[in-house]
Structure 1
Amino acid sequence: MRTSLRAGLAGALACGVLVTAMNVGRDGGGGGGDASAPPTGPYIAPGDSYTAGPNIPEQSGTPAGCERSGRNYPALVAAELKIKASDFRDVSCAGATIADLSAPQSTDDGTNPAQFDALSGATRLVTVGIGGNDIGFASVIRRCVTSGVMYQVTGGQDGDGDAPCKERYVSGDVDEVRRKTEAADGRLARALDEVERRAPKARVYVVGYPAILPSDGGGCDREPALAPGDTAFVRDKERELNTMRRQRAEATGTRYVDTYGPSEGHDACSAEDTRWIEPLLPRSPAASVHPNERGERGMADAVLHALGAHP
């Protein structure tokens, strides 16, 4: 089974570390709303755990191992558009990579069929939220957390400066995470072409990832753990991933939904009553370093705005 962001972060929790880790349619590009009326279905929602909403009640759907919430952003979008239950398919799954869009995915509790199997010529709306697991973002965060703990223990005297995690991923001109992001670009291009082939009449939206860490250059004052330079490194890697996905969407004539901008100030380091992303030790029902219910609502609002359903 592939390791999801949630599973990958469990290792850091097991060590007792309390830290805060950290529109798309073939009928035109751009990030704003469309002048035409939003589609009323059928609506298919492929994606990974940021789409599925692990631990957000109420969990629903099969297989249970995909950890889908009935309050994730696809469900909220479908409800707002008054799409009939029979015309809405949430096929997202925790731990999914781009490859799992076209092939069955094994989970801890059942097998999720290839997500694209739900697409058809009748499909009129598709939102795609995926890519983080392709670059191994879970392992990046885990390593940066471990490096941050050592940085604190040694007082920053372990020989790797203020970005010990970055030093392990970047050597000279070689950036391992960027290399994986570039490789994922090609896979995403092929996936979007497949959506076009299977659902030629659908409006398709690639949904970005919300801000995990502060965008103002600061760290996590409430629960510091990452070394100062590694906070910027992790933040930059997420921005690179979102940029790749935006550019790929635009290159294929697909719309991109920006959730990073609307979520700034609501990251995992922000106050408990305003954040969209839970810290490594969640305070609200959600997976570690994943959107909580407020975050899924914010992502839904961004999608609805792109659809022209919200001002």
Structure 2
Amino acid sequence: MSRRLFSVLAFAALLLTITPPAAHAAVQDDVYVALGDSAAAGPLIPNQVLPDLGCWRSDHNYAHLTAQAIGARTLRDATCSGAKTTHMYQSQSTDLGSVPPQLDALTADTTLVTVQIGANDVGLTDFIEDCLNILPPPVGDACNDDYVVNGQDSWRVATDALRPRLTQLAADIRARAPQARVFVVGYATYAPPNGCYPRVPIIAADANYIRGTLQYFNRMLAEQAASAGVGFIDLQTPSVGHDPCTPAGTRWIEPYVPASPAAPFHPNARGMRGFATAVTAAVSGA
């Protein structure tokens, strides 16, 4: 995600939320490795955990909650805010130091892997920010036509360019963790039909564009997961009615000015609980 979103709130929130990782009793045999970006890491959600503080990783993200729910013997949470597919293979620089490639968390005894990645490759957070409009047209400028170049939707072109990379990533995960059940995790619902201007300052046409392009992105993830022979976990469907336009007590994704400890346009603690329910059901075969 864009680092500028953290510039005012991040370090103040960090001082309030840092705790060491909690230890849980081992009751099952799963060795669970969580891979992904900020949508999986849970930036600013209490409590932010050691090590790798620059990853803005919460001990209440869906990986931690799922590991607890299934009684995993081990959780290795390698998720990191700002991660792209390249950071599965290469170290990632953060504001607080470098972190190793996420695939390094995989071992031969890994039995469960979730991976939520790709949004930063196509600039999802910056894309949503670009569509913010304090004033509606004609004073404000719609964003959706900015992404049409020579008759092609550049956001969808970038989405399609990820397909072979994700297929290769699934193969590489399986090569390092041949015993593991592998699941690609999709992204949530970020906008209802027509949006909710001015509560979230994105005009109706742009809200529908964001909604459509995210649906396309999630379809791509599901298709590539099926092509690679791994599972897909849909977070878009369960998050309907919990988008940034909904009341603070209902929403799972915070708007540009969060009302709960979370990064803008990212899951809050309630959202992570909802996502953990979906992830737990999927990895348990429910």
TM-score (norm 1): 0.82
Matched residue, 1:131: 118
The alpha-carbon deviation at position 88 of structure 1 amounts to 1.1
1-structure distance, mates of 2:215, 2:260 = 25
Matched residue, 2:60: 71
Matched residue, 2:30: 41
Task: Select 2:104's aligned residue among 117, 126, 151.
Answer: 117
Identical counterparts, % of pairs:
40
Q: Which runs of 5+ in 1 are unaligned?
A: 14-38
Matched residue, 1:197: 175
3-state DSSP of counterpart to 1:244: helix
The alpha-carbon deviation at position 302 of structure 1 amounts to 0.5
Alignment check: 8 A CA contact 1:8 1:139 kept: no
3-state DSSP of counterpart to 1:139: helix
Tell me the alpha carbon deviations over residues 209-228 of structure 1, each in whole angstroms, 9 at most, x when there is no partner.
111111xx231156141122
Is 1:181 paired with 2:155? no
The alpha-carbon deviation at position 12 of structure 1 amounts to 12
3-state DSSP of counterpart to 1:194: helix
The alpha-carbon deviation at position 171 of structure 1 amounts to 3.3
2-structure distance, mates of 1:10, 1:241 = 25
The alpha-carbon deviation at position 303 of structure 1 amounts to 0.8
Alignment check: 8 A CA contact 1:222 1:269 kept: no
Describe how 1:204-215 pairs up with structure 2 within 5 A: 204-214=182-192
Distance 1:243 1:77, change over 3 A: same
Distance 1:11 1:241, change over 3 A: farther
The alpha-carbon deviation at position 62 of structure 1 amounts to 1.8
Is 1:171 paired with 2:149? yes
Distance 1:307 1:48, change over 3 A: same
2-structure distance, mates of 1:137, 1:12 = 20
Alignment check: 8 A CA contact 1:11 1:142 kept: no
Matched residue, 1:93: 80
3-state DSSP of counterpart to 2:162: helix
Matched residue, 1:24: none
Matched residue, 2:130: 143
TM-score (norm 2): 0.88
2-structure distance, mates of 1:305, 1:11 = 36
Aligned length: 268
Matched residue, 1:256: 232
Alignment check: 8 A CA contact 2:254 2:262 kept: yes
Tell me the alpha carbon deviations over residues 254-288 of structure 1, each in whole angstroms, 9 at most, x when there is no partner.
11001110110000110110110011100001111
Tell me the alpha carbon deviations over residues 70-112 of structure 1, each in whole angstroms, 9 at most, x when there is no partner.
000000011111123xx21000000000110111000000111
Is 1:218 paired with 2:207? no
Task: Select 2:94's aligned residue among 90, 107, 127.
Answer: 107
Matched residue, 2:16: none
1-structure distance, mates of 2:284, 2:53 = 33
Alignment check: 8 A CA contact 2:200 2:245 kept: no
Q: Which runs of 5+ in 2 are unaligned?
A: 10-27
The alpha-carbon deviation at position 8 of structure 1 amounts to 4.8
Task: Select 2:42's aligned residue among 39, 53, 73.
Answer: 53
Higher relative contact order (CA 8 A, sep 6+): 1
Could you tell me which amino acid in structure 1 is paired with residue 259 of structure 2? Answer: R
Tell me the alpha carbon deviations over residues 227-264 of structure 1, each in whole angstroms, 9 at most, x when there is no partner.
22111111111111111100000011111001110110
